[in-house]
Amino acid sequence: MNLEEYQHKVDAWIKTHGVRYFEEKTNTLLLVEEVGEFARLIARKYGEQSFKASESESDINLQLEDELADILFVTVCLANQMGMDLEKIIHRNFAKKTKRDAERHINNKKLNP
């Protein structure tokens, strides 16, 4: 499914199961919450935090996937309720990054010792 289809699918889900979109402020706070949950799992898998006794690495992998999907879902909710076409703005953003960073990372001595 492409982004346009996903935006429509999220919109239909919200209108069917969610009744309506939460306010933008609420959805932004939910986005921060989801990113925090993702970060907590990253700290366990890749950082110095230990796993809980009830967690396994395969559990963490599934949870990471689920949290990343939650981040995308809330991001799409925000785009929908603000009337943003994600495909269009992603293409524009790539063009901006490509122009701005055409040689920046290639010439970064920290990345290319």
pLDDT tens profile 35-76: 999 999 999 999 998 888 888 778 999 999 999 999 999 999
Number of separate domains in the chain: 1
- Model pLDDT, residue 9: 98
Residue 66 class from Cβ within 10 Å (0-12 exposed, 13-18 middle, 19+ buried)?
Answer: middle
- Model pLDDT, residue 54: 82
Residue 71 within any structural domain of the chain: yes
pTM for the full predicted model: 0.89
- Proportion of the chain above pLDDT 70, given as a percent: 100
Residue 73 within any structural domain of the chain: yes
Q: CATH code at 12?
A: 1.10.287.1080
Provide the residue range defining the domain that includes 27: 3-100
Residue 108 within any structural domain of the chain: no
